[in-house]
């Protein structure tokens, strides 16, 4: 069905359509509000917008949106000219498809060809096509069933890409020579196990093609290929070791590794030779407990790292000439977000970063590492204006059931009366080591301006407080995530921000598991639940090794097929398995028909069981996007319609 949604059994399709109609019927009293929200959300998005161009030799590349356009337009300009060249118009490409999303896109080193990957079903199976530049003539080469990651060889005639297997696992890296039939493409590297996923990229210098082999967050292994010699064999940097992860950059004849080897839980940076013995690395940045290194970018003269200390990010620049280093003064608020932008020129001395907070729109800076000066290149525009002073952002700490201090970020209007009765939306994720940043999201202000507090519970399972924060929220420690989320809700009640029964829990995918399990732990804490594409049938999914992503997921949740303890543990918190006769609040679950990550049947089954067991009259609803997958609608405005649906439900549920 991921290849052809039309193969879905008619009875199932009819059931999902009936559920959609039911949801529309229940929400009819707030249909006007939903339309108002959709218009309001759209009004905060500039009709015309563009990214800051990324320089590459004689060109600078960027994407932009035109007035009324749902999809990005890929463009470039010559450094010596102001005229724009359109490389790919996403709006034109999407005209013949119900769903369209651009995945990876890469121009060849000689700037003569654009390779791009597109998903036309929402199933995250990308087709790669090629366009000759500048006239955009399409070449006959088409690569099917790919992951969407692309790397050119330096001769601009060959392309590395990753192929998905029948279970949607990225299992093989292949090399395509332009003009050759895809069936003759060379298999450069094949995954040794269903648990090992592959990805292909290039190092910052462009010298090496990088093949990353990873088992979720358990272990990794990297192979390199000389990009100037695409026929050469990949060579391994470090052999796989249980529990050891690393990423690779290069600088001259040295490889620079970000790794947790030798019990460096929050990671360190080391160097090893490109050729020769790599078993005795030299230390570049030592491990420091509590200073979690998230990302590294290497330039010809500089090493830049993004790290998180006590839950807050900072960027540190290090000279590769003399080892001198300093932190960039990003002007942080009480809680904020920083991210590095990749793709800047290796030989230059400019790094790009983005700053934002819960109240401050994103600002893109180019930072001169030599002069230590920052230039504001773009500030996110909110049509109609945005006054950050009208809102208050806070960072609180609550105590979980075992005494652990859990950070909570929140934002509300400055003039909001916090009388203990305020409705509050509590968001959480807490899995795979993904941290939820305290960044600016324009859609939230439609809730804030209607009297909500918006809070983010940074529960264990993410990496907000270091890599150990992740380890303490997975496998046998997974219950900590749910304890943290429930404790965050209770702590916000105790602090006077809201009251029991006035909290709307919100999570998506693995965050749907979080809110579903938390709902079973303290049902009366929540006045409503929004679970988007929720992973709520955990036990049955982990028991089915034929499903697309199950074997790799055992590293995160445990293997209930071979491990009785894991089966009992998962069964104890699985939201679907633990529905019982009780009074459930209003629930809205969403699904994507072609979702390869969380099957549409998981939220469908969960909603059916909740509806069967609840003793309340509160609505229990399912809404399925029948033309999209895990990420929902792809268009920038169409996606806002789905946000409006969620917010209308939250506002209706919270009441006056």
pLDDT digits (tens, 9 = 90+) for 429-442: 999 999 999 999 99
pLDDT digits (tens, 9 = 90+) for 162-187: 999 988 999 999 999 999 999 999 99
Q: How far is it, in rounded angstroms, from Cα 2 to Cα 204?
A: 34
Domain residue limits, the chain:
9-42+386-541+579-654, 542-574
Looking at residue 2, its pLDDT comes to 81
Confidence of residue 9 (pLDDT cuts 50, 70, 90): very high
Extract the runs of DSSP E, i.e. beta strands, from 93-157: 101-107, 113-119, 126-132, 137-152
Q: How far is it, in rounded angstroms, from Cα 638 to Cα 497?
A: 33
Catalytic residue among 357, 409, 509, 577: 509
Q: Which two tokens stand for residue 106?
A: 């890469």
Q: Which two tokens stand for residue 243?
A: 């529990």
Confidence of residue 548 (pLDDT cuts 50, 70, 90): confident
DSSP 8-class letter at 523? G
Q: Concatenated DSSP letters for 210-236?
A: EEEEEETTTEEEEEEEETT-TTSPPEE
Looking at residue 218, its pLDDT comes to 82
Catalytic residue among 141, 149, 472, 595: 595
Label the pairing between strands 620-625 and 586-592.
parallel
Chain centroid to CA 649: 24
Query: Which of these ranges, 216-220, 229-233, 428-432, has the smallest mean pLDDT?
Result: 216-220
Q: How far is it, in rounded angstroms, from Cα 224 to Cα 206?
A: 11
pLDDT digits (tens, 9 = 90+) for 70-118: 999 999 999 777 789 999 999 999 998 889 999 999 999 999 999 999 9
pLDDT of 655 > 90? The answer is no
Q: How far is it, in rounded angstroms, from Cα 604 to Cα 5?
A: 17
Q: Concatenated DSSP letters for 11-41?
A: HHHHHHHHHHHHHHHHTGGGHHHHHHHHHHH
C-alpha separations of 143 from 147, 155, 231 in Å: 10, 19, 20
- % residues pLDDT > 70 (the chain): 100
DSSP 8-class letter at 648? H
Q: Which CATH class is domain 9-42+386-541+579-654?
A: alpha beta
Is 0.75 surpassed by the pTM of this model? Answer: yes
Catalytic residue at 509? yes
Catalytic residue at 153? no
Confidence of residue 568 (pLDDT cuts 50, 70, 90): very high
| Size of the chain in residues | 656
Catalytic residue at 193? no
Looking up tokens 């939230």 gives 444
CA atoms within a 13 Å half-sphere pointing along the CA-CB vector of 656: 0
Q: How far is it, in rounded angstroms, from Cα 375 to Cα 24?
A: 48
C-alpha separations of 635 from 37, 365, 378, 639 in Å: 17, 27, 22, 6
C-alpha separations of 499 from 421, 446, 488, 526 in Å: 6, 21, 12, 9
Q: How far is it, in rounded angstroms, from Cα 235 to Cα 151?
A: 17
Question: What are the residues facing 393 on neighbouring strands?
Answer: 411
Query: Which of these ranges, 39-43, 190-194, 523-527, has the smallest mean pLDDT?
Result: 190-194
* H or E element that contains 445: helix 445-448
Dmax over CA atoms of the chain, in Å, equals 71
Label the pairing between strands 158-164 and 137-152.
antiparallel
Q: How many CB atoms lie within 10 A of CB 625?
A: 24
Contact 194, 551 (CB under 8 A): yes
Q: In what order do the strands lie in the sheet with 373-379?
A: 336-341, 350-357, 363-368, 373-379
SS3 state of residue 196: coil
Q: How far is it, in rounded angstroms, from Cα 569 to Cα 563?
A: 10
Report the C-alpha dihedral over residues 275, 281, 283, 288, rounded to 10 degrees: 130
Q: How much helix, strand and coil, in percent to the nearest 5, is found in the chain? A: 20, 35, 40
Label the pairing between strands 336-341 and 350-357.
antiparallel
Label the pairing between strands 503-508 and 526-532.
parallel
What are the helix and strand counts (H, E) for the chain?
12, 36
Contact 216, 233 (CB under 8 A): no
Looking at residue 369, its pLDDT comes to 98
């Amino acid at each position: 069905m991921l290849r052809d949604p039309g193969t879905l059994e008619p009875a199932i399709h009819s059931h999902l359509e009936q559920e959609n109609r039911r949801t529309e019927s229940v929400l009819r009293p707030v249909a006007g509000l939903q339309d108002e929200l959709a218009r309001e959300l759209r009004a905060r998005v500039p009709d015309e917008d563009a990214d800051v161009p990324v320089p590459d030799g004689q060109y600078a590349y960027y994407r932009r949106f035109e007035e009324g356009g749902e999809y990005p337009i890929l463009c470039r300009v010559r450094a010596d000219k102001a005229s724009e060249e359109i490389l790919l118009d996403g709006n034109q490409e999407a005209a013949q498809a119900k769903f369209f999303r651009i995945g990876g896109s890469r121009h060849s080193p000689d700037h003569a060809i654009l390779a791009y990957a597109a998903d036309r079903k929402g199933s995250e199976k990308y087709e790669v096509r090629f366009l000759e530049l500048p006239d955009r003539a399409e070449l006959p080469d088409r690569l099917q069933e790919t992951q969407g990651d692309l790397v050119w060889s330096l001769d601009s005639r060959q392309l590395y890409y990753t192929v998905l297997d029948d279970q949607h696992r990225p299992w093989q890296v292949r090399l395509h020579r332009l003009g050759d039939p895809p069936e003759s493409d060379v298999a450069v590297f094949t995954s040794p196990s269903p648990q090992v996923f592959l990805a292909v990229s290039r190092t910052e210098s462009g010298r090496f093609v990088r093949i990353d082999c990873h088992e979720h967050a358990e272990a990794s292994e990297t192979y390199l290929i000389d990009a100037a010699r695409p026929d050469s064999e990949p060579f391994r940097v470090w052999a796989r070791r249980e529990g050891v992860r690393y990423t690779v950059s290069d600088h001259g004849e040295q490889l620079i590794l970000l790794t947790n080897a030798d019990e460096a839980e929050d990671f360190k940076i080391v160097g090893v030779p490109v050729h020769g013995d790599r078993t005795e690395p030299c230390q570049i940045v030592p491990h420091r407990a509590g200073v979690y290194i998230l990302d590294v970018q290497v330039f010809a003269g500089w090493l830049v790292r993004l790290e998180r200390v006590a839950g807050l990010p900072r960027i540190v620049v290090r000279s590769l000439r003399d080892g001198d280093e300093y932190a960039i003064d990003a002007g942080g608020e009480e809680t904020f977000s920083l991210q590095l932008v990749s793709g800047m020129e290796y030989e230059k001395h400019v790094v790009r970063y983005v700053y934002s907070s819960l109240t401050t729109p994103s600002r893109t800076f180019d930072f001169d590492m030599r002069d230590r000066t920052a230039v504001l290149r773009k500030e996110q525009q909110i049509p109609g204006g945005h006054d950050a002073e009208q809102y208050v952002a806070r960072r609180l700490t609550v105590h979980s059931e075992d005494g652990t201090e859990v950070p909570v970020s929140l934002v509300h209007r400055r003039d909001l009366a916090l009388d203990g009765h305020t409705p509050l939306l509590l968001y959480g994720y807490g899995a795979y080591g993904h941290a939820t940043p305290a960044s600016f999201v324009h859609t939230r202000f439609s809730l804030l301006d209607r009297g909500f507090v918006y809070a983010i519970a940074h529960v264990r399972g993410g990496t907000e407080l270091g890599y150990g924060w992740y380890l303490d929220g997975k496998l046998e420690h997974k219950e900590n995530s749910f304890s943290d989320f429930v404790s965050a809700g209770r702590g916000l009640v105790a602090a006077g921000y809201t009251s029991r029964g006035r909290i709307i829990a919100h999570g998506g995918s693995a965050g749907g598991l979080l809110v579903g399990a938390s709902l079973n732990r303290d049902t009366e804490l929540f006045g409503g639940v929004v679970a988007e594409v929720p992973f709520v049938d955990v036990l049955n999914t982990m028991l089915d090794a034929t499903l697309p992503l199950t074997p790799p997921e055992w590293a995160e949740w445990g293997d209930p097929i071979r491990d009785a303890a894991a089966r009992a543990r998962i069964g104890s918190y699985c939201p679907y398995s633990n529905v019982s006769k009780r009074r459930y609040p209003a629930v809205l679950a969403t699904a994507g028909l072609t979702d390869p990550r969380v099957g549409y049947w998981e939220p469908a089954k969960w909603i059916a069981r909740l509806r069967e067991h609840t003793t309340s009259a509160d609505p229990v609803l399912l809404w399925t996007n029948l033309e999209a997958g895990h990420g929902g609608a792809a268009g920038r405005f169409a996606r806002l319609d789905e946000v409006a649906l969620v917010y209308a439900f939250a506002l209706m549920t919270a009441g006056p």
